[in-house]
Structure 1
Amino acid sequence: MRNSLKKVYLLISVLMVVMLAACGEDNTNTSNASENSGGPVSAKIGVISYMTGPGAAYGEAITNGFNLALDEINEKGDVKIELVIEDSAGKQDQAMTVAQKLMSSDDIVALLGPTLSTEMNVVGPEADINGIPIMGTSTTAAGIPQIGEYVFRNSIPESLAIPAALEKAVNKYGVKKVAILYGNDDLFTQSGFDTMKAEAEKMGLEIVTIETFQKGQSDYNAQLTKIKDLQPDLILASALYNEGAVIMDQARKMGIDLPFVGGNGFNSPQVIEIAGEASDGLIVATPWFGEKDDPKVQEFVKKYESAYGHKPDQFAAQAYDALYIMAEGLKNAGEADRDALRDALAEIKDLDGILGKFSFDEDGDVIMEPTVLIIKDGAFQQFE
């Protein structure tokens, strides 16, 4: 009798397994049918942003750009996106911690950020190993997209921006001699220096001195005195806006009225806010110019100013376009799948954004022409 009961229980168990498998199969088929029925793809995207600390203005601008694009994208309804935002505080270890937290969630299909190249240098390889697409919107140091096939960026690298700015400055002012000043404890500013030095040598310019500083430094008297004594025609400065603005302020107070060519981190309205009139003469190259006579640009500026009370900068604009790039990738992938999204992103060509026509090259790097700007009369203007 006991054996008979065992057989009955075994038969019931087998039947239940079959029924559950059938139910699971039906649910999967229903889910796939729903996903492929023409309805919008829904996806969660993780954001790693520099929200607190001395460079928080970068993170604020970036997340503002994301949120403005998010409202528009979701309203259009082609895809539905939810952002999960984490603060890195501009630190490698914190960026890695929050990145791992985001990547461990199967619901997160991609990452945007982190803000600094130093952060991407540790987060990018981790994302690539985990097979999750990651796009830097402000990471401009050399070698970022080459980290791996899942790593992208839509920010113009220093290797494109600095040569464009330097060439215009040299032609405008007849530059023969330059001094270089850079932050030697940050991957981003070091990369900018490498590009500045290589480009100056390529153009046959005399480099009269190379001076260094560190994050948070407040006194640049020694470096600037040496530069002043050597009488260059131009100063090349690879700095984040905090240090860069102070450098320009102290330079002007010492009577150094030379033009500056800055790297990408120098390209922020915060430079004007901190240094005031002393920021006049800063030359930078950027894909973003808020005064551009383009309806898309002016509409974005109007919406941004209405939402946040001030004009957008390059970092807000790049973030805004980046989310639209992600949305295009999701739409073309047709599903919230990491591998499918990665492949769809790699195929994007000539996407029309507020920064212009955008494409990725074979490495996942940006293809776009920069615009050269100069700060004059307390505002960024096109440098002619």
Structure 2
Amino acid sequence: MKVLVRKTIGIMTVLMLFILAACSGTSTETGTESESGDNTEQASGTLSAKIGVVSYLTGAGAAYGEAITQGLKLAQEEINEQGEVNIELVIEDSAGEADQALSAAQKLMNDDEILAIIGPTLSTEFLAVAPEADLNGIPIIGTSTTVDGIPEIGDYVFRNAIPESLAIPAAMEKAVERTNAKKVALIYGNDDAVTKGGFEVMERTAKEMGLEIVATETFQKGQSDYNAQLTKIKNGNPDLVLASALYNEGAVIMDQARKMGIDVPFVGGNGFNSPQAIEIAGEAANGLIVGTPWFGESDDPKVVEFNEKYEAKFGKLPDQFAAQAYDALYIYADALKRAGEADRDVFRDALAETKDLEGLLGNFSFDEIGDVVMDVTVLEIKDGKFVEFE
């Protein structure tokens, strides 16, 4: 009944808009960045869809959003060239703030031509936006949202990002196996959903592994001095430091830790997995261990080709967030082809049935609640670059 009502309202709305447009003969610009790709003229039989994007494009963590939108644009260009579907991206900036992300998403939701939404970037933002998208029957996918409970929000909510509950334990198990660690210290950002969620996974996994937690310290977004927290961690003499942080703060924490003589390995959450951590921390980033579906140094032909295309287009190598966004648009394109029409409910059902899709990051499926099914790779930073953990 819920789907039938949505479809009836949608048809009536489209008819009213068609009548109004025919009468006025004009259109207005909203100021939204719209990326239609190279194929603006549709070939006969080509499915066309507008996809809304909410991305972290300005502010301290804009490198995340930049990578995501660049990954999307590269995928869009390739998909449109293939000719089966034509995708237009309508991009809005969230600035990493939940309220701005919600306003941006509402703007997209009010456009009846928007088939589905990608983003927002941070879990804090996504948790504000996804319930409303689900309520409005608009499919939404998170490409970088890793906290527990994301797909459980509703039937229209999906993600292709490896959750912290998979990535962090995989990294911790590898780190403990190599170092024979017995004691760990934890440090996390207590004002962000992804860093709080990562901490919860770290703490739970440490207890399950029988590790002694010698210190638990917190910090806030934008903090620059971690002397007090790191002094307590150093006094605990841990074998590993478990740090749930975004790359901005995480890199500074590692730099200050090394200067204080804390030379044990760090295990990070998903937000720590960025080349920006190396750029900011330099040699201090060596020894960081993370779990991820993306290994940019892989000799897999798909990864090599993606790296080459991305670097040629944007002047730098891609990171995990670019790769996940790239795959997400291909997941959407595949679902659109199987749906056979740009209808939100039909598209949602096709999306839910995605199984064993060969993507850039590997074989991809959704489980029964819309969460990702994919293998985890553990990486470490060694000699200033991410390498596969051995």
Given the two structures, how large is their TM-score scaled by the length of structure 2?
0.89
Paired residue for 1:103? 109
Paired residue for 2:352? 346
Per-residue deviation, 1:292: 1.1
- Specify the code of the residue in structure 2 equivalent to 1:221: N
Q: Which is greater in Rg?
A: 1
- Specify the code of the residue in structure 1 equivalent to 2:318: P
Match of 1:285 among 282, 291, 308: 291
Match of 2:62 among 48, 53, 56: 56
Q: Check if 1:142 corresponds to 2:153.
A: no
Identical columns (%): 73
Structure 1: state its 5+ residue gaps: 1-23, 25-36
Q: Check if 1:212 corresponds to 2:251.
A: no
> How far apart are the structure 2 equivalents of 1:343 and 1:112?
17
Listed as ranges, the matches of 1:320-331 within 5 Å are 320-331=326-337
Per-residue deviation, 1:244: 0.1
RMSD in angstroms over aligned alpha carbons? 1.0
- Specify the code of the residue in structure 2 equivalent to 1:166: M
Per-residue deviation, 1:38: 8.1
Paired residue for 1:242? 248
Paired residue for 1:84? 90
Task: Tell me the SS of whatever aligns to 2:188.
Answer: strand
Per-residue deviation, 1:290: 1.0
Per-residue deviation, 1:305: 0.7
Q: Check if 1:379 corresponds to 2:385.
A: yes
Task: Tell me the SS of whatever aligns to 1:182.
Answer: strand
- Specify the code of the residue in structure 2 equivalent to 1:281: G
Which digits, 9 at most, give the CA deviation of each residue in 1:283-316, with x for residues without a partner?
A: 0010000111211110000000111111100000
Listed as ranges, the matches of 1:158-307 within 5 Å are 158-307=164-313
Which digits, 9 at most, give the CA deviation of each residue in 1:103-132, with x for residues without a partner?
A: 011100000000000001110000000000
Match of 2:49 among 43, 46, 53: 43
Runs of 4+ in 1 over 4 A off after TM superposition: none
> How far apart are the structure 2 equivalents of 1:335 and 1:41?
7
Task: Tell me the SS of whatever aligns to 1:258.
Answer: coil
> How far apart are the structure 1 equivalents of 2:180 and 2:62?
37
> How far apart are the structure 1 equivalents of 2:99 and 2:232?
36
Per-residue deviation, 1:383: 0.5
Paired residue for 1:318? 324
> How far apart are the structure 2 equivalents of 1:372 and 1:39?
43
Task: Tell me the SS of whatever aligns to 2:145.
Answer: coil
Task: Tell me the SS of whatever aligns to 2:312.
Answer: helix
> How far apart are the structure 2 equivalents of 1:52 and 1:68?
20
Structure having the higher helix fraction is 1
Task: Tell me the SS of whatever aligns to 1:373.
Answer: strand
- Specify the code of the residue in structure 2 equivalent to 1:300: F
Which digits, 9 at most, give the CA deviation of each residue in 1:82-105, with x for residues without a partner?
A: 000000000011000010000011
- Specify the code of the residue in structure 2 equivalent to 1:229: N
Structure 2: state its 5+ residue gaps: 1-18, 20-42
Q: Check if 1:357 corresponds to 2:363.
A: yes
Paired residue for 1:32? none
Per-residue deviation, 1:40: 1.8
Per-residue deviation, 1:237: 0.2
> How far apart are the structure 2 equivalents of 1:276 and 1:308?
23
> How far apart are the structure 2 equivalents of 1:259 and 1:189?
19
Paired residue for 2:130? 124
Task: Tell me the SS of whatever aligns to 1:255.
Answer: coil
Q: Check if 1:154 corresponds to 2:154.
A: no
Which digits, 9 at most, give the CA deviation of each residue in 1:158-216, with x for residues without a partner?
A: 00000000000000000100000000011110000000000000000000111000000
Task: Tell me the SS of whatever aligns to 2:386.
Answer: strand
> How far apart are the structure 2 equivalents of 1:65 and 1:39?
27
Per-residue deviation, 1:39: 1.4
